[in-house]
Amino acid sequence: MSSQTTVRRPYVPDDAVNPTSQPCVMLIFGASGDLTKRLLVPALYNLACDGLLSDRFALLGAAMDELTTDTFRARMSEDIKKFHTRHTFDQAVWDNLVRRFHYLPAGFADLNAFGKLKGEVGRLDAEHKIGGNVLFYFATAPRFFGLLCEQLHKAGFKDGPGWKRIIVEKPFGTDLASALQLNKDVLAHWHEDQIYRVDHYLGKETVQNLLAFRFSNGMFEPLWNKHFIDNIQFNVSEAVDVEGRGGYYDSAGVLRDMMQNHMFQMLAYLCMEVPGSFESNAIRNEKAKLLEAVRVYTPEEVARYVVRGQYGPEVDDKGKVVRPGYRQEKDVDPQSKTETFAAARFHIDNWRWEGVPIYLRSGKALWKRGTEIIVEFKKAPQVLFRSTPVREIGANRLIFHIQPYQGIEVQFQAKIPGPTLQLQPVNMRFGYGDAFKASRYTGYEVMIYSCSYGDATLFSRGDLVEAAWRVAQPLMDYWKATPADFPNYARGSWGPTAAEDLIGRDGRRWFELLTDDVLKKIEIFKDGDPLFLSQIILALRPEVMARGEILMHKGDMGREMYVVVRGEVEVVDEHGGVVKTLKDGDVVGEIAMLIHTPRTATVRAKTNCDLMALDKASFSRILRDHPQFGDSITRVAKERYNLEILLETLLGEAPRV
Ligand code: BG6
């Protein structure tokens, strides 16, 4: 780590309007590419709309494409209509912004082009009375980073008054050696405190809030250690596949694409020690220390603590491929060994976390989209409840919902009203959308804004990046050297079963958070309001079924329904013939539960399965509290199952169909 100047964020009194960004010329390399139109320009536009962009600002785009300032402005004016994130478009704000956009074609190897860029930056600086500040943004492939740094240096961009800062897009290196080399190249002519390495997760409000939450709420910090926390799970599930980015992804994989950067950043925020202050280096020092304390695995440890996966195609009941597997994606090697899923248990070898398992899991083409961090506390002793109907006390959990639902939730036990002592998990939930005006930001606004103030808190530092690669490297080495049994999970599932075994060996399970989005995919819940759905989610009880086990017998009274979380169940007729196979995300048993009638078929587990059960009593109780939802269920029952259900039946009263 190099010595760095400590920068304070601008002091903003409580009731003051935020000051505008610092004046600067923003010189974007790669300005004709995707990032500029999708994120950077919409972010600048958001800042302008909110009065946060300095009037003394100009943008100079540079790229290989032979555009003119006029064509660049015209393109951006088209694109902003598509990519802006606000409810309405403010033409006047845009006009005022776009007239400050300029463009010069530039081959990055051509020093003359840098001379011209310097001249243009000087002209814009004088025209807008900027005072010499230049923000360079490298929105290019990483192979250009070193070259760009060198050319800027040679062209004399470092000279003159004002600050000069470089924002570097990810990925920063593809392994430890390349990251070390890249740091060397970038720092050959520039100082560490001029380099701002982007990790867009740090621009997310919910990620920034991890720090605010931990250090502004006295009640949690005393519990934040191995004495009270049983385990922590970081889950980043993506429902999307590689979305046409096979060329890039096939040389990356989920470890490089998500874990080594975004997930390790969240890990560092959640587990780091208390910094001396909120100054950027105080925070980044603690993050670096934390990442340096993550155990670097031996090959044996990789084999034991890490699993990888790759999605296969989605096939319909007749075995026809509905959507391709990873190896059939465009620009992907048909024999690819690249992982699209990984799950790992990490160890943080320090005083605070020794022995606390830290589980990370991420993948593409999974059943749901959702990023959550689950902090599971040690359970209360069971002994007191021996003589009560309570069979098991659940753990308290603190859940950070990062996206798409944004919020924080505490789960605890409460007594179910009634004459006997029975418990049910309940929650207290804070939703960003309820408490604050929902953020319309892309995440890049705060990064551009804080970089203009020299505040590097939201950027990664060289030593941090290297520490993260040090942890990831043995995994990559081990995977390269060992064969992969791919594909090993189906598109749209919860990932490979090996991930279950990984955590199952520790006597734990992944805490699957069903979100409103997931529940809404289930027909009968699709019109549920957030409160109703959150009650249902809490009432769901995890159940495990071994292959061949019978989930329900034909003729049994229907007392619960199941969501298949992972695995396959089959509906069989009286001769044992399979009528239908259900898999991740499907529901079974809902009709008999709704109308309280005998099951019409037998259902058994085709594979080992994880299920979520919702019993009729809980369902009816929740429905009694939300009677307005009864109408929607009766409607769905009619439309979908052709059943006439009376509200009383739904509420668990006498069956009347
Ligand atoms: C990017 C990855 O960094 O992050 C993508 O390259 C991934 O593969 C994306 O989909 C996820 O970001 P977000 O903000 O949608 O969680």
Task: Give the integer Cα–Cα distance in Å for 196 and 163.
Answer: 13
- pLDDT reading at 634 higher than 50: yes
Name the band, by pLDDT with cuts 50, 70 and 90, for residue 542.
Answer: confident
Query: What separation in Å is there between the alpha carbon of 449 and the centre of ligand 1?
Result: 22
Name the band, by pLDDT with cuts 50, 70 and 90, for residue 4.
Answer: very low
Task: Compare 436 and 98 and report the one with higher pLDDT.
Answer: 98
pLDDT of 253-267, one tens digit each?
999 999 999 999 999
Among protein residues, the one with the nearest Cα to ligand 1's atom 5 is 257
Token pair belonging to 227:
């004495």
Distances in Å between the alpha carbon of 119 and those of 60, 116, 256?
11, 5, 38
CB atoms within 10 A of CB 654: 8
Token pair belonging to 371:
């990023």
- Contact indicator for 59, 490 with CB cutoff of 8 Å: no
Question: Average pLDDT of 515-528?
Answer: 80
CB atoms within 10 A of CB 576: 8
Q: Considering just the CA atoms, what is the radius of gyration of the chain in Å? A: 27
Query: What separation in Å is there between the alpha carbon of 544 and the centre of ligand 1?
Result: 32
Task: Compare 4 and 176 and report the one with higher pLDDT.
Answer: 176
Task: Give the integer Cα–Cα distance in Å for 35 and 169.
Answer: 10
Question: Average pLDDT of 601-624?
Answer: 86
Q: Are strands 568-572 and 578-583 parallel, antiparallel or unpaired?
A: antiparallel
Name the pTM for this structure: 0.86
| 169 in contact with ligand 1, CB cutoff 6 A | no
- Contact indicator for 271, 353 with CB cutoff of 8 Å: yes
- pLDDT reading at 573 higher than 60: yes
User: Which stretch of 42-56, 396-410, 596-610 has the lowest confidence by average pLDDT?
Assistant: 596-610
User: Which stretch of 19-33, 144-158, 414-428, 626-640 has the lowest confidence by average pLDDT?
Assistant: 626-640
Task: Compare 455 and 429 and report the one with higher pLDDT.
Answer: 455
Ligand 1, closest atom to CA 245? 8
Q: Which residues contact 549 (CB under 8 A, 6 or more apart)?
A: 604, 605
Question: Average pLDDT of 191-211?
Answer: 94
The rounded mean pLDDT for the chain is 90
- pLDDT reading at 2 higher than 60: no
Q: How many residues comprise the chain?
A: 657
Residue with token string 């992804």:
249
- pLDDT reading at 431 higher than 90: no
* CA 232 to centroid of chain Cα atoms: 16
3-class DSSP assignment, residue 422: coil
pLDDT of 290-342, one tens digit each?
999 999 999 999 999 999 999 999 877 677 888 999 999 999 999 999 999 99
In the chain, domain spans: 24-169, 203-378+451-504, 516-650
- Contact indicator for 1, 463 with CB cutoff of 8 Å: yes
CATH homologous superfamily of domain 203-378+451-504? Answer: Dihydrodipicolinate Reductase; domain 2 (3.30.360.10)
- pLDDT reading at 29 higher than 60: yes
Ligand 1, closest atom to CA 403? 16
pLDDT at 61: 98
Catalytic residue among 262, 553, 575, 626: 262
pLDDT of 115-133, one tens digit each?
999 999 999 999 999 999 9
Ligand 1, closest atom to CA 204? 14
Question: Average pLDDT of 521-539?
Answer: 81
Has 262 been annotated as catalytic?
A: yes
pLDDT at 119: 97
Task: Compare 612 and 43 and report the one with higher pLDDT.
Answer: 43
Distances in Å between the alpha carbon of 156 and those of 26, 106, 160?
16, 16, 9
pLDDT at 5: 44
Question: Average pLDDT of 126-146?
Answer: 95
User: Which stretch of 101-105, 233-237, 242-246, 470-474 has the lowest confidence by average pLDDT?
Assistant: 242-246
CATH homologous superfamily of domain 516-650? Answer: Jelly Rolls (2.60.120.10)
Q: Which residues contact 577 (CB under 8 A, 6 or more apart)?
A: none
Which H or E run includes 47?
Answer: helix 41-49
Residue type, 291: L
Task: Give the integer Cα–Cα distance in Å for 231 and 345.
Answer: 10
Asked if the peptide bond before residue 496 counts as cis, ω within 30 degrees of 0, the response is no
Residue type, 378: K
- pLDDT reading at 14 higher than 70: no
Query: What separation in Å is there between the alpha carbon of 44 and the centre of ligand 1?
Result: 21
Task: Give the integer Cα–Cα distance in Å for 314 and 553.
Answer: 29
pLDDT at 9: 55
Name the band, by pLDDT with cuts 50, 70 and 90, for residue 383.
Answer: confident
| 238 in contact with ligand 1, CB cutoff 6 A | yes
pLDDT at 657: 38
Among protein residues, the one with the nearest Cα to ligand 1's atom 9 is 258
Question: May I ask the CATH architecture of the domain 24-169?
Answer: 3-Layer(aba) Sandwich (3.40)
pLDDT at 653: 60
Secondary structure (DSSP) of 84-109 = --SSS--HHHHHHHHTTEEEEE--TT
pLDDT at 16: 56
Ligand 1, closest atom to CA 371? 16
Q: Which of 262, 444, 446 to mutate to test the pocket of ligand 1 (most atoms within 8 A of CB)?
A: 262
User: Which stretch of 252-266, 336-350, 390-404, 642-656 has the lowest confidence by average pLDDT?
Assistant: 642-656
Task: Compare 137 and 649 and report the one with higher pLDDT.
Answer: 137
